[in-house]
Amino acid sequence: MTGLNIVVGVAGGIAAYKACHLVRFFTERGHSVTVVPTESALKFVGAATFEALSGNPVSTSVFDAVDQVQHVRVGQAADLVVIAPATADLMARMAAGRADDLLTATCLVATCPVVVAPAMHTEMWWNPATQDNVATLRRRAITVLEPAHGRLTGTDSGPGRLLEPGQIGEAALAVYAGAQIPRDLEGRKVLITAGGTQENLDPVRFIGNRSSGRQGFALAEIAAHRGAEVTVVAANTDDLPNPAGGTVVHRVLSARDMADKVGEVAGEQDVIIMAAAVADVRPAHQAAVKLKKGADSQALGQLELVENPDILAGLTEIRSTGIWEKNPVIVGFAAETGDDGATPLDHAVAKLQRKGCDLLMCNEVGAGKVFGQDTNSGWMVFPDGRVVDVLPGSKLEVAAQIMDEVVELMPPLSS
With H, G, I as helix, E, B as strand and everything else as coil, classify residue 162. Answer: coil
Was 355 annotated as part of a binding site? yes
With H, G, I as helix, E, B as strand and everything else as coil, classify residue 284. Answer: coil
Asked if residue 313 lies in contact with residue 356, where contact means CB atoms within 8 angstroms, the answer is yes
Asked if residue 162 lies in contact with residue 85, where contact means CB atoms within 8 angstroms, the answer is yes
Nearest to 225 by CA among 272, 274, 168: 168
The dihedral built from the CA positions of residue 353, 343, 407 and 272, taken in this order, carries a sign that is: positive
The dihedral built from the CA positions of residue 65, 67, 72 and 77, taken in this order, carries a sign that is: negative
Nearest to 27 by CA among 44, 10, 2, 62: 2
- Supply φ then ψ for residue 263, to 5 degrees: -60, -30
Was 340 annotated as part of a binding site? no
- Supply φ then ψ for residue 130, to 5 degrees: -65, -45
CA pair distance 52, 184, nearest whole angstrom: 40
Was 351 annotated as part of a binding site? yes
Instruction: Identify the active-site residue in 133, 209, 242, 308.
Output: 209
B/e letters for 252-265, b = 16+ CB within 10 Å, e = fewer, are bebbbbbbebbeee
Asked if residue 190 lies in contact with residue 230, where contact means CB atoms within 8 angstroms, the answer is yes
Give me the DSSP letters along 115-138: EEEE---HHHHHSHHHHHHHHHHH
Nearest to 115 by CA among 70, 186, 177: 177
Was 311 annotated as part of a binding site? yes
Determine whether 21 is exposed, middle or buried from the number of CB atoms within 10 Å of its CB (0-12, 13-18, 19+). Answer: middle
CA pair distance 360, 355, nearest whole angstrom: 9
Was 411 annotated as part of a binding site? no
Catalytic-residue membership of 5: no
CA pair distance 353, 393, nearest whole angstrom: 27
Residues 6 or more apart whose Cβ sits within 8 Å of residue 48: none
Was 290 annotated as part of a binding site? yes
Was 309 annotated as part of a binding site? yes
Was 392 annotated as part of a binding site? no
Nearest to 142 by CA among 175, 168, 164: 175
Binding residues: 280, 290, 309-312, 333, 351, 355
Q: What are the residue numbers of the active site?
A: 209
Binding residues for CTP: 280, 290, 309-312, 333, 351, 355
